[in-house]
Structures are given as C-alpha cells and as structure tokens.
Amino acid sequence: MAELTTNLLVQDQTYQARTYKLSETKIEGFVDELEALKQAIHKRLATEKYEYPIYSFQYGIAWKELIGEERAYVRAEMRRMIEETLLKDDRIREVDGFQFDFSGDCCHCAFDVFSIYGDFEMETEVKV
C-alpha cells in the first residue's frame, strides 16, 4: 500500500512593491514602493469589511459599526480599526499621530504611517 504525502507549504502573505496605478476611471501604468503602499492603504480604508465576498474577512474596516456612536468611542475604535487593518501589511512598521475632527455626522481622521519606504500622512473620512 502506498503512503500519502503532501508538499503543502503555508506562507504569510507578502505585499508587492509594484502594482497597477489606479485612477477614478482607468489603469494608468504602474506605481511602486511608496506610491503602491499609499494606494493599498487607500483601498483598505475604502473597503467596508464583510461587504464583498471577494475579500477575506480580515480585509477592510467595518465602518458601519461606528454609526450613531458617541465621539469618544468613535475616536478609540477608528484608531484601533485603522491600526489593525494597516499593520497586517508587512511594509508598515507603525501607525500613530491620530487627529480627529468631527463635523455634523462625519469624522475626519488624519494619521501618520511609518513604512519601510518612508513616513507620510494619510487621512480618511467616515459618516458616523
């Protein structure tokens, strides 16, 4: 009787330094390193977690959970959610320097990203 074996290899996902440059309406060549990372961050922040079956359950942010919550809770949860999703990317070393500005039912959040390509500021806005 033959013995069954498998050569299964499990690897952590690594992120590419080069990707397609996306605009609002088309693909416009390529971007790499810092610009590719900024684009990946923007995509993670713009994707509602659990909304699209094509993405794993770990991708994106569950922004809808913040609707109707108190500002102090929104600040703490936004920080946690952003850190949690962005630190899954092995190109990002740290996320810090969070600043929140509320206007009506919107929360504008700016923060610093410390990456292997350099440091930069990102921002996002969410209806709460």
Q: Residue 79: which domain range?
A: 27-127
Q: What is the number of structural domains in the chain?
A: 1
Q: What is the pLDDT of residue 1?
A: 64
- Would residue 20 count as lying in a domain? no
For residue 115, give the CATH number of its domain.
Answer: 3.10.450.40
Q: What is the pLDDT of residue 58?
A: 79
- Would residue 8 count as lying in a domain? no
Q: What is the pLDDT of residue 14?
A: 57
Give the H or E element holding residue 115: strand 106-115
Mean pLDDT across 44-65: 89
* Strand partners of residue 124: 109
Quote the tokens at residue 114. Answer: 């410390």
Q: What is the DSSP string of 45-57?
A: HHSBTTT-TTS-T
Tens-digit pLDDT profile for residues 82-127: 999 999 999 999 999 999 999 999 999 999 999 999 999 999 999 9
- Would residue 105 count as lying in a domain? yes
- Would residue 12 count as lying in a domain? no
* Count of other CB atoms within 10 angstroms of residue 113: 24
Quote the tokens at residue 87. Answer: 């630190």
Q: What is the pLDDT of residue 3?
A: 75
pLDDT bucket at 2, cuts 50 / 70 / 90: low
- Would residue 119 count as lying in a domain? yes
Q: Give CA–CA dist 86/61, Å, rounded.
A: 10
- Would residue 1 count as lying in a domain? no
Q: Give CA–CA dist 81/62, Å, rounded.
A: 8
- Would residue 110 count as lying in a domain? yes
- Would residue 95 count as lying in a domain? yes
Tens-digit pLDDT profile for residues 6-52: 776 666 655 567 787 877 788 788 888 999 999 999 999 999 998 88
